[in-house]
Structure 1
Amino acid sequence: MSAQESIPVWLDCDPGHDDALAILLASHSQRIQLLGISIVHGNDTVEHCAKNALRILWACGVKGIPVYKGIQRPLVREPKFCPEIHGIPGEQGVAGMCGYHFPDDIIFSDPNYKVEDTHGVLAMATAIKANPKKVTVVLTGAQTNFAFAIRMYPELKDNIEKVIFMGGAIGLGNTGIAAEFNIQIDPEAASIVFHSGLPLVMIPLEVTHKVLVRNNILEKLANIDYEQATAPECTNEKKDLEKLPHRHLEYREASDAVERRKRMQLDSQKAVISKLTRFSSKFAECFYQLLTFFQTTYCKEFGFESPPLHDPCTIFYLTHPDSFQTLSLYVDVETGSEKCLGRTLCDINSLSKQQPNVLVCTDIDVDIFWKNMLHCLQLASKLSPMNNK
C-alpha cells in the first residue's frame, strides 16, 4: 500500500474506555478514512455509549465523523452491560465515561457533536454501498448491528474488503467462564457473522491481554506533549514474535489467569498507582484519568496489575498487519449451551475437517503498537480543544 492510499473504514463500537482509544487511533491514523461510527449495546446502553463517542471525538479535536445509535439489545436475548469495568454514569459526579468529568454543556451545545437521526444499521449499509472502494468494517463490541445489516442488505458483502473484530478467545473467556464478553452477549449475531463468507480477522483475548497499559505507558501519557511525535515505520518485515505450538496457547492463558488471581488475592490495591498531580496538558490528564480508572476496575475484577487495551488492536491491525502472527482456522460460536454460551470454538487441530473461515491473530508486536498509539495520542492532543487556554 502506498503512502497516498487510504483505507475506508466503518467502526461499530460501544464506548467503553478501550473503545475510546480505538476511536482516537482510527481518527488520527493518516492511512484510515473513518466513514462513520455506529453504536451498539454492550459496555453500556446505546444512549450512553453514543454520548461517550461524541465526548471522545470532541476531546480529540475531531469533527465531521458522524455518530449513529444502533440496535439496543441482542438479536434474541436480554441485554447485558459491563458496569463493573467501565463504571456507572453519574456515580461520584462523573459525567459520561467514568474516570473523567467531561464538560457536557460545552460539548453537546456544539452542533458538530450531535447524534445523527439515521439508525446506525441503515447508516452503515448506506455508507458501505455508496463508497467507491471496498470498506473494511471494524467491530469492537457485540456484532448485532453488523449481523443485522448483512441480513437486511446481503448485497453489502460485495463492497466489504474484510471484517476485523475484537472478540472471542482461543481458550478461556473473561466475563463468562468459557466466553469473551463481546461474543457472549450476542452469540447469535456472532454466528451470523462467522458464517457470512466474508474475510474475517479475529483478535482474541490471547492477543489483547498482551497489550497492557503499564505504569511506564501511563507516565508517557501524562507527559504526552513532550514525547517525540515520530510515527513507527510500517515495513513488510515480520518481527520474531514468540512462537508456541497451537495446543499450548490455551494452557498458557490458563496459567496466566491463575497467577493473576493469586496476586489479586494477596493485595489487589498494590496494582493501582498513585495519581499524578502534573500533566503536560488537559488532554493528557483526561486520558490518564480514564486509563487509571480502567486500571482500578481491571485490578479489582481480574487481578491485572495493568489493564489490557483490547479494542485499539483492531485499528492497529488495519495499518500494521505484519505486526501480528495469525492462524487460518475454522471457528464457530456456541449458541445452545447454558454453561458455554458464546464460546468461540477454534479448531486449531483441524478436527472438524471444515474449511478455515477466520484469520485468528495469535501474537502482536506490542512495542510497535505503543509507538503508534502514543504518536496518535500526541497528534490528538495538538488538536484538542481541552488544551485551549
Structure 2
Amino acid sequence: MKFIIDTDPGTDDAVAILIALAHFSDEEFLAITTVAGNVTVDIGTKNALRLLEHTNRNNIPVYKGEAKPLYRELTTAEWVHGSDGLNGVDFPNPSKNEESSDAVSYITNLLINSDEKITICVLGPMTNIGKVLSQDPKLSSNIEQIIFMGGGAGFGNTTPVAEFNFFVDPEAVNIVLNSGVKLIMMGLDVTHQAIATKTRLEDILETKTVTG
C-alpha cells in the first residue's frame, strides 16, 4: 500500500503521524500534505516538519495545502491544541522546509502519474481532497481508498451534532463523500474509544523508540 497523510497537526494528528512513522517505510508513506483546521496551515506545516525532524524521517516530503475552506471562513481549535498546535511539546525546529509545490498540485500529479492506486488518510478537514476532486473528478478512479477521521454517530464536538473536521469544510466533505471512492470512516464515536490512558502511554514509552 502506498499512502499519503493529509493533516492539520494538532496534537491528535501528531500522535497519528508518529504511529504511522513507526509502522511504515518511506516506500509506503509517500508524503504529508497539510491543511488549515486545528491550527492555521502555516503552523500545521511547521508541526509536520517538526515531527519528521524528531523521528529522523526528513526524507518524507511535506506539501503545504489550503489556508481556508472552499467557500467559508476558517474555524480553528487553538483552545484545544494551543497556539502552537502541540500544546507546548518541545519538538525540535525543522532543519528543512516544505516543498515548493502546493498540496493540491502534488496530490493531483501523484494520482495522475502513479503506477498504482493511492490511499489517502485524511486526519483534518477535507479541503485539499475536495479541491482535487472538484478540479478533476476522474481522478477518483486513481484513489484506492480514503480513510478519514470525521463526522460521528450520535453526537458532535463543535455543535451538539457536528464533528470539527466536517464542520470546518462541509462543502469539501460533500464532494469527497459523493466522489465514488471507497471510504473508511473513523468518526468521533470511534476515536473517543481510543483514549490515551496512563497504561497505554507507559506501554508506548517502554518501546524506547524515537516515536515513543
TM-score (ref. length: structure 2): 0.93
Q: Give the counterpart letter for 1:38 in structure 2.
A: T
Q: Which residue of 2 aligns with 1:22?
A: 16
Q: Residues 354-373 of structure 1, C-alpha deviation per residue, up to 9 Å, x if partnerless? A: xxxxxxxxxxxxxxxxxxxx
Return 26-35 or 185-194, whichever deviates more.
Answer: 26-35
| CA offsets 1:264-298 (integer angstroms, 9 cap, x no match) | xxxxxxxxxxxxxxxxxxxxxxxxxxxxxxxxxxx
> Residue 51 of structure 2: which of 17, 36, 56 is its match?
56
Code of the residue aligned with 1:100 in structure 2: it is V
Letter in structure 2 aligned against 1:42: G
Counterpart selection for 1:205 from 188, 205, 211 = 188
Cα separation, 2, equivalents of 1:158 and 1:212: 35
Q: Which amino acid aligns with 2:181?
A: L
Deviation digits for residues 155-204 of structure 1 (CA, Å, limit 9, x no counterpart): 31121111110000111001111100000011111011111111111111
**Closer/same/farther in 2, CA of residues 172 and 157 from structure 1, 3 Å limit:** same
**For residues 103 and 163 of structure 1, what CA distance do their matches in structure 2 show?**
31
**Larger helix percent:** 1
The CA RMSD over aligned residues, in Å, is: 1.7
Question: How far has the Cα of 1:13 moved from its partner?
Answer: 0.4
Q: Which runs of 5+ in 2 are unaligned?
A: none
CA distance in 2, matches of 1:115, 1:9: 18
Residue 379 of structure 1 deviates from its aligned partner by 6.2
Counterpart in the other structure of 1:98: 87
Describe the SS at the equivalent of 1:118: coil
Deviation at 1:10, TM superposition (A): 1.6
| Separation in structure 2 between the aligned mates of residue 131 and residue 85 of structure 1, nearest angstrom | 37
Gaps of 5+ in 1: 1-6, 90-95, 226-377, 382-389
Aligned equivalents of 1:199, 1:222: Cα separation in 2: 35
2:129 maps to what in 1?
Answer: 146
Determine the C-alpha separation between the residues in 2 that align with 1:380 and 1:169: 28
Which of 63, 72, 90 lines up with 1:68 in the alignment?
63
How far apart in 2 are the matches of 1:199 and 1:56? 29
Aligned partner of 2:29 in structure 1 is: 34
Q: Distance in 1 between matches of 2:111 and 2:14?
A: 23
Q: TM-score, normalising length from structure 1?
A: 0.52
Contact 1:61–1:380, Cα closer than 8 Å, also in 2: no
Alignment-mate amino acid for residue 3 of structure 2: V
Separation (CA, whole Å) in 2 of partners of 1:136 and 1:78: 28
Paired residue total: 211
SS in 1 for 2:173: helix
* Contact 1:167–1:203, Cα closer than 8 Å, also in 2: yes
Report deviation, 1:25. Answer: 2.2
Q: Please point out which of 38, 41, 44 is paired with 1:46.
A: 41
Deviations along 1:93-112, whole A, 9 cap, x unmatched? Answer: xxx622322342xx3xx3xx
Which of 50, 73, 81 aligns to 2:76? It is 81
Query: Conserved in 2, the CA contact under 8 Å of 1:135 and 1:159?
Result: yes
CA contact (8 A) 1:23 1:57 kept: no
Q: Does 1:168 align with 2:163?
A: no
For residue 176 of structure 1, give the secondary structure of its aligned residue in structure 2: coil
Higher mean C-alpha deviation, range 198-207 or range 43-52: 198-207
Q: Is the 8 A contact 1:139 1:166 kept in 2?
A: yes
**Structure with the greater alpha carbon radius of gyration:** 1
The answer to whether structure 1 residue 131 and structure 2 residue 114 are counterparts is yes
Alpha-carbon distance in 2 for matches of 1:222, 1:30: 19
Distance 1:222 1:25, change over 3 A: closer
Q: Specify the code of the residue in structure 1 equivalent to 2:153.
A: I
User: SS state of the match for residue 199, structure 2?
Assistant: helix
Secondary structure of 2:69's counterpart equals coil
Helix, strand or coil for the counterpart of 1:44? coil
Q: Map Cα deviations across residues 10-39 of structure 1 (whole Å, 9 max, x no partner).
A: 211000111112222222324771111111
Matched, 1:11 2:5: yes
Q: Write the distance in 1 (CA, Å) between the matches of 2:13 and 2:30.
A: 16
